[in-house]
Amino acid sequence: MSGYILQAITLEKLFLKIPILRIAVSYGTGVLAAAYIKPENSLFFLSAGILFLVLILLNIRYRFSFEGIFGALTSILFFLLGIAFFNQHNQPPALFENGQFSAVVLEKPEEKPNSYKTVLKLNSFIKGDSIFQANEKILAYFGKNSHAEDLVPGSVILFKEDPRIVTNNGNPYEFDYPKYLNRQKIYRQLYLADEKWKPTNITVNSPVIMAEKLREKLLTIYRQQNLGKNETAILSALTLGYKRGLDPETKRVFSSAGAMHVLAVSGLHVGIIFGMFVLIFGFLKKTKKGSILFVVFSIIMLWSYALLTGLSPSVLRAATMFSLVSIATSLNRRANIYNTLATSAFILLLLNPNNLFEVGFQLSYSAVFGIVFLQPKLEKLWKVKNRIIHYFWVLMTVSIAAQIATFPFTSYYFNQFPTYFLLTNVVIIPAVFVLIILGVLLLLLSGVPYLSTGLAFVIKEVIGNLFALLQWIENLPHSVFKIPFSVSQSISLLLAFLFCFAFIEFRRARQLKYAFLLFSVVMLLSASQKFWQYQQKELIIFNNRDNLTLQLIKGRQNYIITQFPIDSSAYTRQMTQNVTTQKNLHQSVFLEYGTLFEDKHLLLKNNFICFEDKIIQIGLTKNGPQELTPDILVLNSYFIPEEYQIDAETSVITTRNIHPQNTFIHSLPAMGAFRIQWQ
């Protein structure tokens, strides 16, 4: 019992040292509860109001007598507020249909292979003689032959097509795109063919739209410098947070080498921009009035840059923290970095509770916490007198600290670990520092003929050599270590790390015991996962309209059978790779149905597949033994033969969108992928 009391006292001391931490943690826990438990909103608003009154009365009547109770009630209050704010923020808008829409273009349409993609904001809806105010963001795709490429942020268009609710394809382990969009308050999407929409002469302006227009102008400057397509895309991501130009190959190289974090504008980028600002305007801090002007200008600069780069969670965190530090410095107050970190998180969650579920938010805050908490302790392990060696040692400890703190998140979201991240970061961080400065100079001096050409040449060479180095690192043996962690494994690992950090700080033996216990849980879960992997037998027929795809799994062996070559569709490759990674399978054997293949697990002949006692027939034509009755029949047809409508021994899978009455008939578009497991 005394151990638990000591833990409570330790926690209370931590909250006294970092007062905003109690509020941020309680509020964040409330947001999580609202997202996954989904309690009633009105009840928690009422409870929060009553609790707030109780807190005020307690504070007035017993100011110092019940500090523990007051702290607990404060935690409950902000927990309830977290629930209330999340529910309020995620109220879906009114969804209008069967009329004419007026919408504002929020982003410059992005060119796709068969369309242009952008986000629209519906501002009005006309039905008959009535006009309704609309307030909904939708995902829009325009036909390739339309004039969508001429649209700019702020353009107003008219259309009558009804948006449809965004849905997934229902394939296993796929990215939950509807949930991702819902967190951004986008619930519907639509495709507008050439004749289905028309532009207007109206233009709308807002701070976000103006920032998007300015970013487009700056991107145009980069594009005019003959840097090369890949170099322009990388520079645009580094300096302006524009990642749409990055091709899959570039993303893969950066990810495998452990450098993907630099392509998202974060504290590193904001810190460099802020450092340039201090270098130019630092003289203002010499006087009291000048110091106030410096803080005002620095905050305006920070948030203008955040707006320009798209207001991602990582840049919001950095801008908020730098703003708080600037204000504290101007007031001659030494800011507690943990309090600043917790304050910035609380502010961002107060403005948008959905930030908590953004991968960038989680990685950004965990990385900064790791750097602040672990890096000084790692640096002290080796006292280095040489300044150059010391610089690289500090760089390495920063990388190690950030990697440790973010590992529970990266292992779950990306299922891989970049083995040579230290080598990458020693090179990439100085290179990013140089490139951001050169990129800003190129934007400022683009009108100076020879100087801009020289800058562009240097930037092109630096990026080209940097990318070649990252490709070399990616091609080193075992450059990526696959880690297919489940949610339970990642949460257990995160808690184990937190108890380890608590032990480092407070030196309580119980904290170390809990950490070892949780590490044991991770090991047991991994062992259990591996055991079941070798027992599994599974057939998956994916919902993929462009390329009929089957994946057959026996233990860790797996076969992928497609109608067309696997590389004919990037979606087909990604769809099957999700399963291979999550189930930790061996390299897939790729086959096309209609060909002949045989081994100890699989026989593929004509349109018949025999796999581990299951017979699968594709199409109605029997190109095999007539006496064979398939266990599974796959059809590309709305028509289901009568004998199969009453024969429950054969499961019928159709690639057409129908709503069957029988449980043994499965429509892939309507019901998602078909999966069957057996022993």
Q: How confident is the model at residue 16 (pLDDT cuts 50, 70, 90)?
A: low
How does pLDDT run across 321-331, given as a tens digit for each residue?
A: 888 877 877 76
How does pLDDT run across 375-401, given as a tens digit for each residue?
A: 899 988 888 888 888 888 988 999 999
Across 282-296, average pLDDT = 82
The CATH number of domain 100-204, selected from 3.30.70, 2.60.40, 2.40.50, 2.20.28: 2.40.50
Q: How confident is the model at residue 196 (pLDDT cuts 50, 70, 90)?
A: confident
Query: Which of 266-270, 355-359, 542-546 bottoms out in mean pLDDT, i.e. has the lowest?
Result: 266-270
The pLDDT value given to residue 494: 92
Across 248-272, average pLDDT = 85
How does pLDDT run across 656-669, given as a tens digit for each residue?
A: 888 766 667 888 98
CA distance 97 to 568: 37
- pLDDT of residue 545 exceeding 90: no
Q: What percent of the chain has pLDDT over 70?
A: 88
Across 303-318, average pLDDT = 83
Identify the three-state secondary structure at position 364.
helix
Tokens of 337: 């970095």
The pLDDT value given to residue 662: 64
- pLDDT of residue 7 exceeding 60: no
Nearest 5 degrees, angle CA 457-CA 462-CA 467?
A: 125
The pLDDT value given to residue 156: 92
Q: How confident is the model at residue 310 (pLDDT cuts 50, 70, 90)?
A: confident
Across 117-136, average pLDDT = 90
Query: Which string of DSSP letters, residue by residue, matches 17-50?
Result: HSHHHHHHHHHHHHHHHHHHT---HHHHHHHHHH
Across 131-140, average pLDDT = 91
Q: How confident is the model at residue 2 (pLDDT cuts 50, 70, 90)?
A: very low
How does pLDDT run across 340-351, given as a tens digit for each residue?
A: 888 888 999 999
- pLDDT of residue 10 exceeding 60: no
The pLDDT value given to residue 188: 94
How does pLDDT run across 454-479, given as a tens digit for each residue?
A: 999 999 999 999 999 999 998 899 88
Q: How confident is the model at residue 141 (pLDDT cuts 50, 70, 90)?
A: very high
The pLDDT value given to residue 1: 45
* Cross-strand pairs, 554: 537, 557
The pLDDT value given to residue 15: 58
For residue 354, give the DSSP letter: G
The larger pLDDT score, comparing residue 281 to residue 163, is at 163
CA distance 417 to 255: 9
CA distances from 380 to 176, 362, 368, 394, 645 (A): 43, 27, 19, 10, 73
The larger pLDDT score, comparing residue 52 to residue 423, is at 423
The pLDDT value given to residue 103: 93
Identify the three-state secondary structure at position 325.
helix
Contacts 24+ apart (CB under 8 A), 549-554: 549/575, 549/576, 550/593, 550/609, 550/616, 550/634, 551/576, 551/579, 551/588, 552/601, 552/602, 552/609, 552/611, 552/612, 553/579, 553/583, 553/585, 554/601, 554/611, 554/612
Give the start-to-end residue ranges of the domains of the chain.
2-89, 100-204, 213-376+417-481, 487-535, 537-677
How does pLDDT run across 161-184, given as a tens digit for each residue?
A: 999 999 889 999 998 889 889 988
CA distance 342 to 510: 26
On whether the pTM is more than 0.85, the answer is no
Average pLDDT of the residues of the chain:
84
Residue 53: count other Cβ atoms within 10 Å of its Cβ. Answer: 9
